[in-house]
Amino acid sequence: MRRKVETVASETSPTPATVIQHVTIRDVAAKAGVSVTTASRALNGTGRMSEDTRLRVQQIAKDLDYRPNTMARGLVQQRSFTLGLLTDDTYGRFTLPVAAGLSSAMTDRGVSVFLSAGEKEPKRMQLNLRAMEEKRVDGLVITGKRIDRALPVDVSRLGMPVVYVYSKCPDGSIGFVPDDFNAARIATQHLISLGRRKIAHITGMSSFEAAHLRGAGWKAALEEAGLAPHCEAIFGNWTEEHGYETAYRLFETAADRPDAIFCGNDQIARGVVDAFSHMGIKVPDDVAIVGFDNWEVFAKATRPPLTTVDMGLTRLGKSAGLALLDMIEGKQIDSGLRKLPCSLVVRQSCGGTGSE
């Protein structure tokens, strides 16, 4: 007579590790009732099939949380399905939103982003670039802290597509930057629409192309409205200190005070608002203020909250990523600099109706 033996695991006995069973393309195909080849083509957006079949396979893959084996796919297609993002913006003020847009555009395409940031020193930058090559990235996005400066790296022999975002775009290359001129023009037009007629402009360093583009947009809007600038654009550092000191100086000495100030960035605008607070000048009742950047740590914390231009850095990153993918896939892309539109975020500092 056989005895039934039961085994009981003790509290001290090891338990088997949990094995995660990844969903495969075969699982997706079986669930959709199609061949593995059809399922693969449906997910890659290739091959001939009905739109209903393609959408059904894609939905089933999403429901099953199917994730392609990028290593296997890379071996077949001779790609790493990785993009490089090289920058000297170690603080991340401009690069992080660009990276967020780039990553969001790549998520549904099974492509990851490898970020490398370093100070603008040629040897360091060259090492960062070499790291990108060792990662076998399929393409490279170069970005930085200003639109008129290039990183000190030579990408001419990389043998991979390169796109520039918020960085100087060399001749014959593809670049994406915010449309500073029209953004400033729209910001100034907004102040004019609110009845402001004496509009000054306090901005950053004159060595920056962006400062001149924003100044030109300010002047263009005034000219279109038949208005003269309250005074010439006032250049200086891109800092709260510059805004604070300039506002004090402007209002202490000017016989004819401005009724609005368009600032070259949010830090300058924050300094202007602080100066007026100490001087007993009310914003926006006495003077309306508009900034530039929509850097929320400054814009939303300003009292009153700051109306400002959003440069759409996330959209720049997304647009650059999609263009880079087209280049990787061999599609013809016209070279040149793309200037993407910005948007005005209306809060309380200009006297308009706040949207946030």
Residue 7 has pLDDT above 80, yes or no: no
Report the chain's C-alpha Rg in angstroms.
Answer: 27
Assign 354 a pLDDT band (cuts: 50, 70, 90). low
Tokens describing residue 269? 């605008």
- Taking the C-alpha atoms of residue 54 and residue 44, their distance in angstroms, rounded to an integer, is 10
Of 184, 162, 159, which is closest to residue 172 (Cα–Cα)? 162
Q: Which domains does the chain have, with CATH numbers?
A: 25-67 (no CATH), 80-178+313-340 (3.40.50.2300), 180-311 (3.40.50.2300)
Residues composing the chain: 356
Per DSSP, 208 falls in state: -
Model confidence at 16: pLDDT above 60: no
Confidence (pLDDT) at 90 = 86
Summarised one tens digit per residue, pLDDT across range 259-292 is 999 999 999 999 999 999 999 999 999 999 999 9
Q: So what's the pLDDT on residue 228?
A: 94
Residue 229 CA to residue 197 CA, distance in Å, equals: 9
pLDDT at 10: 40
Per-residue pLDDT, 4:
41
pLDDT in tens, 300-333: 999 999 999 999 999 999 999 999 999 988 898 9
Q: Could you read off the pLDDT of 204-245 as tens digits, one per residue?
A: 999 999 999 999 999 999 999 999 999 999 999 999 999 999
The structure's pTM equals 0.77
